[in-house]
A and B are shown apart, each in its own frame.
Chain A
Amino acid sequence: MTPATSPAQRRDQVRLLAVDTARRALLDASAGDLPELLNPGDIVVVNDAATLPASLRGRVGGAEVELRLLGAPERGAPERGAVDAVLFGAGSWRQDTDTRPAPPAIDVGTHIALDELAAEVVAVSDISPRLLRVVFDKTGADLWAALYRCGAPVQYAYQQRPLPLWSVQTVYGAEPWAAEMPSAGRPLSWAILLALRRRGVAVAPLTHAAGLSASGDPALDAALPLTERYHIPATTVTAIESARAAGGRVVAAGTTVVRALEGNAHANGHLCPGAGTTDLLLGPGSALRVTSGILTGMHNRGESHYRLLGAFGDRSHIETSWRHAVRAGYRCHEFGDISLLLPDINRPEHAPRWICFSATDSRAPHTAASTAPCVTPAST
């Protein structure tokens, strides 16, 4: 799939591939169709973490490095709270992380000079020598001011231009917890969010510290996503419970929301409000306790995001959907198109007809949806 190489002029001007996991059918729609694709009584849960200026240029001894924060110092944490971060070698955002030179070897006690800040390495991970825990020489408002002055959002080599902080935020971000933008929520404009509510679809937040998408070290990449923290407000738990009690579906806007909700329910036996961390990995066959569907960016095969989709639909259906997306020119990555995986998606009146899979499949939509006549794709 080809990446979107710059943010769209308007955030909601992206396509939406509706993947009906019960009917095994597809619909080419746009992000603005989301309210009509859902039913009154459904609930969309979003990640309201704002994106950090997580990329800090610095030096270790004479060597140029880039430190990418995996999260933010916790509010109210003891003085000089520790933060996990990944160290990269010299090079600019135009280079793919995989081809960047490795950073110098780092020992506990090493100081990394970052313009207005100094970071002291207090731990080096067993997973990878570039996964570090650091403490800064500033705290509170001074630390945050320095981070925003000398940090930049994590950049992507496939982009045409460097991204300012403005380009990597959702419209509802609050606390800066995310190392990279929780990108499934990026196309959600207020026009869409208010239309969801007018339709009777609830929209509720949680906060999840979305981590890095790439580290440049195959061993560390294989361990992604790492354990990440989240906070689920009591009002969101109540909204989810009342939606489910009335037969509504829970749609997670992004893999971070899935991880927070399912990780919480997995750890507690049921959904509990409050703070927590999760290292839950989901994939084909994983039991879902809370979520019925996911709104997600388009991810390439092999990424952990893509594996997670296997929890929402069967593999051959997802593979077929993604082949259709490639053929139809959907764009991937942070600023690309999105997809909704959900059973029994509602077809908007103006939308094209459902595209069906094999007519011999017992769950084919010919029988499942008499109101949604099907066209069979030329080849699947």
Chain B
Amino acid sequence: MKNDITQINGKIVDPLTGYVGKATIHISGGKIKKVDKRPKSISSGKKSLNLDDLLICPGFIDMHVHLREPGREDEETIMSGSEAAAAGGFTSIACMPNTEPPLDTVGSIEYVNDRSMVAPIKVYPVGSITVGQKGERLVEMQEMAACGAVAFSDDGYGVQNNDIMRRALEYAKSCDVPLISHCEYSDLAAEGVMNESFISSQLGMKGIPTVAEELMVAREIMLAEYTKGRVHIAHVSTAGAVELVRRAKRAKINVTAEATPHHFTLTDDEVKSFNTNLKINPPIRGKKDVEAVRKGLKDGTIDAIATDHAPHSVEEKEFEFDYAPFGAIGLETAVGLLVTELIENKILDWPTAVNRLSTAPAVILGIPGGSFEIGAPADFTIIDPYLEWEVNPDDFKSLSRNTPFAGRKLTGKTVMTIVDGNVVYSML
């Protein structure tokens, strides 16, 4: 490691104190040594960066990313996904276990660790809850956690069996890691391809009802309370689910939640275009759901923003809507959507927004980062909050192109990403 940069001047956004203003950050050995809020002027040089009015945030952490390695390296590799993350402003990501084969053994966790050693950012593997993500038998959680699995999840599917989920919540306490639950009862979701609503009725498409998600959110909350386990609800998409989490938190149940940029931005009427990049699971919901997700992010019911970056090949997304796979990529559009949809619309202020993208995921996963505290890693996301740009999938570092936001004009962009004091991405 070079640990190049020793001092940075700019406008820091401190998610813990709420301070937004000029500061000089001193870095030593890849860690924060000191943050001086009465900065002396410096000029950019080999070891110093003067970023003027650009925003310096603790490095963003995306706790929900699908890398397709092993298995579908044509869609994304650990390396390409990491480069996409760096370009999007993420200094750490947690990768989901639904690879081929799934990350359900110590060996597969070690594989991700090995392959990500040379990645520009930090990659934290999430192990599956059950062997083969089949929902039948628990993986060797303690040993996998000891090897670096920061959470367990059968993401892509909900754990359908109530007893297995109960045992998983109990067992995971021994590893002090959360279970990340993709909440959806598959019998209720049936063969659905989009949100069940007037739009699905119009289009004659099979719908996924909100209750398919909410029923499992309710189960996870009840099981977490009963077992005193810890559950994190992935990609909350419905108004009912937001309310369930809100009430659970009020009752001091150990539950956290995340929401995706597409769920706080898009509504299901867009599916009338039949654009398969809008086929996502959980599906893009209705207007009142989008509003509830935004409100949940504002009041802290939803702790974190995560992208659920899910690469798929162009060929597969060119199938008919019914047959196309679920998922959209999100690493390189998240910051633009955050600024355009939440900051400019005054739903979140900067410190809260940065909390949702750094502090909260760091705390939930128990990984370093998310603050300007002395000794914290010198991981920073540098944002130009006024930069206007248009989403062009051909510019992506990701190997896939399946974004529902192609052609959309956004404000705000990551212009530099720093990991352990090294610039890993810069468009300056």
Q: Do the two chains belong together in a single complex?
A: no
